[in-house]
Amino acid sequence: MIKTKDTGDNIVVYLRGRLDVHMSGEIEKDIQKLIDENPEKSLIVNLSEIEYMSSSGLRVLVAIMRILKTNGQNLKLCHLNAAVKKIFEVVELMDMFDIYETEEEALRT
Amino acid sequence: MKRTNEFLAAVSEIPNITAFAERIMIHWHLDRNTAYDVLLAIDEACTNLSTHAKTASGEPIMIILKMRKCFGFLCIRIVDNSIYYDIENAPSPDIQKNLSGEKKGGFGIFLIKTLMDRVKYKRTNNGNVLTMVKKIR
């Protein structure tokens, strides 16, 4: 079960633990349900409590971004730790996502 | 400390596989960044086997993970009994196709090749051997 916060125009999603193949399917399903129930809202995914992320997590974030864009909404990511940021850099996805240092910054922009 | 272990190629086993590798790397006092790269490479290789690989007769796929340290290098060997898949010649991921939904994933092998210093694949009579080498400090 993912933790969320409704801020009006956006929903902040707090992911924690491991974002690997074992967990990514369940997280993708939960976020898909959240999008279906809130089609008019953009998402901010806070990754501050992600300890570990593999390409399965990356694939989920790409899928969420695609669904939100189709709905005319946006996906913002914040609080990427060094290891998570490295994966984005290696696969050259940093420029494809809206990435912010903090949740406050993501909410402001 | 045990440096070789056998696992079932299953999504539910991935945390156990990475935990086994992590324990060895903690024992060897590997720095955090190197250990993370190695864990990720092992995860990606075993995830591919768990989600895509098949055997000719439908028997379960088993993964043998061996880790060795020598002369400033960490050598990771992943042996499996699945049908041939040449990781060395796998195409790079297509970001645009991923973003459009035409294709999903393909990042795993790319990450392995980028994060490791050397990746070697060998087909044997019984399956495959993937050897990944990472320089350590």
| pLDDT above 90: residue B102 | no
| pLDDT above 70: residue B32 | yes
State the alpha helices, DSSP H only, in chain A.
21-37, 55-70, 82-90, 103-108
Point out the residue among A20, A87, A96 whose CB comes nearest to the CB of B111. Answer: A87
**pLDDT (tens digit per residue) in A26-49:** 999 999 999 999 999 999 999 999
pLDDT at A1: 65
Residue range A70-95: mean pLDDT, rounded? 94
pLDDT interval class at B61 (50, 70, 90):
very high
**pLDDT (tens digit per residue) in B38-55:** 999 999 999 999 998 888
Residue range B72-95: mean pLDDT, rounded? 86
The answer to whether the CB atoms of A87 and B12 lie below 8 A apart is no
The answer to whether the CB atoms of A90 and B110 lie below 8 A apart is yes
- Written as six digits, the tokens of B19 are 């935990």
Three-state DSSP class for B84?
A: coil
Is the interface score ipTM higher than 0.85? yes
The answer to whether the CB atoms of A56 and B47 lie below 8 A apart is yes
Output the pTM of the full model: 0.91
| pLDDT above 80: residue B85 | no
Rounded Cα–Cα distance for residues B14 and A22 (Å): 7
